[in-house]
């Protein structure tokens, strides 16, 4: 049975057989936006309109969320980052301009090769929850640099503009064991914990969500579900400003 996490809950990474969870992924599953309108889907055109068959479904539009991480040292200083390579300072140069000096371009891998970010999902699930994670970060805690003491996971709405977490039909993160390699997850073998991000009224107007953190405590790794939302827009940019989310974590959660 997976642990169902509540906001603010802290857990040990001990499995039911007593061993430690070390190699797993943190995945995020979310649904595309519903517009509230219906669209007709034609099943069969028939013959000159005779015998035409169709049905109506909820109209959905792409929802691009981005799952990202930062890795901090014992004193809460930024050591490494893990976010889509599309945040490269070329396509979106304004994201990092003067916000946090030295914030690197996006990378698939953490510098210590302990964490890998799978490709960007730009749509969300269409036609209902498929039960699969749309973006994944694979983690091997045995490879994490000893300097790293906290690893934060967060989610930013990239597009469309104006969407906040109160409008997203569902979103959840989960920690799973899997078959396959760190860059190629084949199959989930064990869902260790799941955290459903409930649609809360406090999420209205908020387009970034600090999900939780892995952290060292007395030589052991633990996980804390945070679930705090904020607004990463500064009124100037067309889309998400990841740097604002990172700055928020560094100032409000790192110490
Ligand atoms: Ca995405
Ligand atoms: Ca999914």
pLDDT tens digits, one per residue of 198-233: 677 888 889 899 999 999 999 999 999 998 898 887
Tell me how far CA of residue 84 lies from CA of 13, 92, 102, 144, in angstroms: 27, 12, 17, 20
Tell me how far CA of residue 44 lies from CA of 37, 40, 47, in angstroms: 22, 12, 9
Whether residue 73 has pLDDT greater than 90: yes
> Residue 103's closest CA among 114, 92, 113?
92
In the chain, what are the domains? 3-252 (2.60.60.30)
Rounded Cα gap, residues 210 and 220, in angstroms: 22
> What are φ and ψ of residue 97, in 5° steps?
-60, 120
Task: Give the per-residue pLDDT at 96.
Answer: 54
Task: Give the per-residue pLDDT at 236.
Answer: 61
CA of 170 to the centre of ligand 2 (A): 10
Task: Give the per-residue pLDDT at 92.
Answer: 52
Rounded Cα gap, residues 197 and 209, in angstroms: 9
CA of 132 to the centre of ligand 2 (A): 4
pTM of the model: 0.90
CA of 136 to the centre of ligand 2 (A): 11
Question: Are the C-beta atoms of residues 77 and 52 closer than 8 Å to each other?
Answer: no
List, in order, residues 6 or more apart from 13 with CB less than 8 Å away.
Answer: 20, 21, 22, 141, 192, 220, 221, 222, 223
Q: Work out the pLDDT band at 88, boundaries 50, 70, 90.
A: low
Greatest CA separation found in the chain?
74
CA of 18 to the centre of ligand 2 (A): 30
CA of 31 to the centre of ligand 2 (A): 7
pLDDT tens digits, one per residue of 144-170: 999 999 999 999 998 888 888 888 888
Q: Work out the pLDDT band at 255, boundaries 50, 70, 90.
A: confident
User: Which secondary structure element, helix H or strand E, spans residue 10, and what is its range?
Assistant: strand 10-12
Task: Give the per-residue pLDDT at 243.
Answer: 82
Question: Are the C-beta atoms of residues 25 and 139 closer than 8 Å to each other?
Answer: yes
CA of 124 to the centre of ligand 2 (A): 6
């Amino acid at each position: 049975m997976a642990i169902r996490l509540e906001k603010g809950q802290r857990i040990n990474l001990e499995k039911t057989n007593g061993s430690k969870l070390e190699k797993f992924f943190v995945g995020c599953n979310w649904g595309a936006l519903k517009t509230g309108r219906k669209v007709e889907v034609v099943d069969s055109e028939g013959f000159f309109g005779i015998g035409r068959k169709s049905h109506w479904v909820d109209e959905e539009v792409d929802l691009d969320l981005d799952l990202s991480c930062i890795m901090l040292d014992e004193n809460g200083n930024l050591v490494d980052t893990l976010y889509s390579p599309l945040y490269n300072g070329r396509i979106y140069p304004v994201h990092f301009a003067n916000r946090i000096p030295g914030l690197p371009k996006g990378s698939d891998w953490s510098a210590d090769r302990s964490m890998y970010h799978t490709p960007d999902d730009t749509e969300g699930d269409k036609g209902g929850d498929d039960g699969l994670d749309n973006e994944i970060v694979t983690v091997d805690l045995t490879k994490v640099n000893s300097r790293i003491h906290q690893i934060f996971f967060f989610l930013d709405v990239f597009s469309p503009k104006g969407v906040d977490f109160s409008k997203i039909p569902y979103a959840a993160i989960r920690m799973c064991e899997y078959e396959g390699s760190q860059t190629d997850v084949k199959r989930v073998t064990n869902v260790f914990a799941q955290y459903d991000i409930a649609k809360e009224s406090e999420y209205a107007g908020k387009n970034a969500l600090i999900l939780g953190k892995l952290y060292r405590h007395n030589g052991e790794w633990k996980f804390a579900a945070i679930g705090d939302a904020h607004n990463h827009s500064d009124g100037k940019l067309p889309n998400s400003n990841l740097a604002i989310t990172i700055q928020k974590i560094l100032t409000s959660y790192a110490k």
